[in-house]
Amino acid sequence: MPETLSIAVGPHRLEGHLCLMSPSRGVVVFAHGSGSSRHSRRNRLVAEALQHRGLGTLLFDLLTEEEARDRANVFDIPLLAQRVGHAIDDLSVRCSQPIGLFGASTGAGAALVAAAQYPKLVRAVVSRGGRPDLAGDALANVLAPTLLIVGGADPEVMALNRSALDRLRCKKQLKIVPRATHLFEETGALDVVASLAGAWFLQHLGPVD
């Protein structure tokens, strides 16, 4: 069962749900997209699929309720990346498992910035319908193997992902889910995302000694 936790961020606390597996192949931190939260139905579905593969998961709010009311914060990638970093710090104290990051929409940009800032802790990154381009110059500093997943019916985001892919210097791959739109609402689309993400994390997080 997931454990409810609070992550300290200065005077604030961010709420989250942590599920650690035993034995485990690692733990994946979710960075949700704009206007979403730890309750995201899509991320919960992917998290449950990862758990079935023996991967732990951490879903948490990147912003407090008050902060989320300011739309500028929702697109503040440095702020969101800092929050992902706080989650990585908190998780590294709680357990010694390899860490992966799963980012959606703007959360993908934040996850990649955090991966660049934590090269020794972050071992793999997956982006779902993300905006990796928002990571900017940090893309060139990402060492963790990175998988970009895009819907085949999401041409604008696909173009942004192809551009970001060219700027990444790590092991990288772009996977296109046929006929899927930006939110992967089509029947079976999220199952494909979960399968691709699970395989990527299992390959690159590796077994815990």
Q: What is the CATH number of the domain that holds 93?
A: 3.40.50.1820
| Confidence (pLDDT) at 3 | 83
25, 207 in Cβ contact below 8 A? yes
Per-residue pLDDT tens over the stretch 121-140: 999 999 999 999 999 999 99
State the pTM of this model. Answer: 0.94
pLDDT band at 10 (very low <50, low <70, confident <90, very high): confident
> What mean pLDDT is reported for the chain?
92
pLDDT of residue 208: 44
φ, ψ for residue 178, nearest 5 deg: -55, 135
Say what the pLDDT of residue 22 is: 85
What average pLDDT does the segment 39-49 reach? 87
Residue 36 — pLDDT band, cuts 50, 70, 90? Answer: low
Structure tokens at 84: 């992902």
pLDDT 10s digits, 52-79: 999 999 999 888 888 888 888 888 999 9
The region, left, alpha or beta by phi > 0 then psi within -120 to 50, assigned to residue 165 is alpha
* Number of domains into which the chain is organized: 1
* 173 pLDDT higher than 70: yes
Instruction: Give the residue carrying structure tokens 């772009």.
Output: 174
For 88-124, write each residue's pLDDT tens digit: 999 999 888 999 999 999 999 999 999 999 999 999 9
pLDDT of residue 34: 65
d(CA 111, CA 174): 16
- Total Cβ atoms within 10 A of residue 66: 9
Q: What are phi and psi of 114, to 5 degrees?
A: -65, -40
Residue with tokens 């998988």: 147
φ/ψ of residue 181, rounded to 5: -95, -170
In one-letter notation, the amino acid at residue 97 is Q
Residue 1 is predicted with a pLDDT of 61
Rg for the chain (alpha carbons), in Å?
15
Closest CA to 57 of 72, 45, 68: 45
pLDDT above 70 as % of the chain:
96
Q: Which residue has the higher pLDDT, 94 or 197?
A: 197
Strand ordering across the sheet containing 56-60 = 3-9, 12-19, 56-60, 27-31, 99-104, 122-128, 146-151, 172-177
Domain with 162, as residue range(s), is 3-205
98 vs 38: CA distance, rounded Å:
21
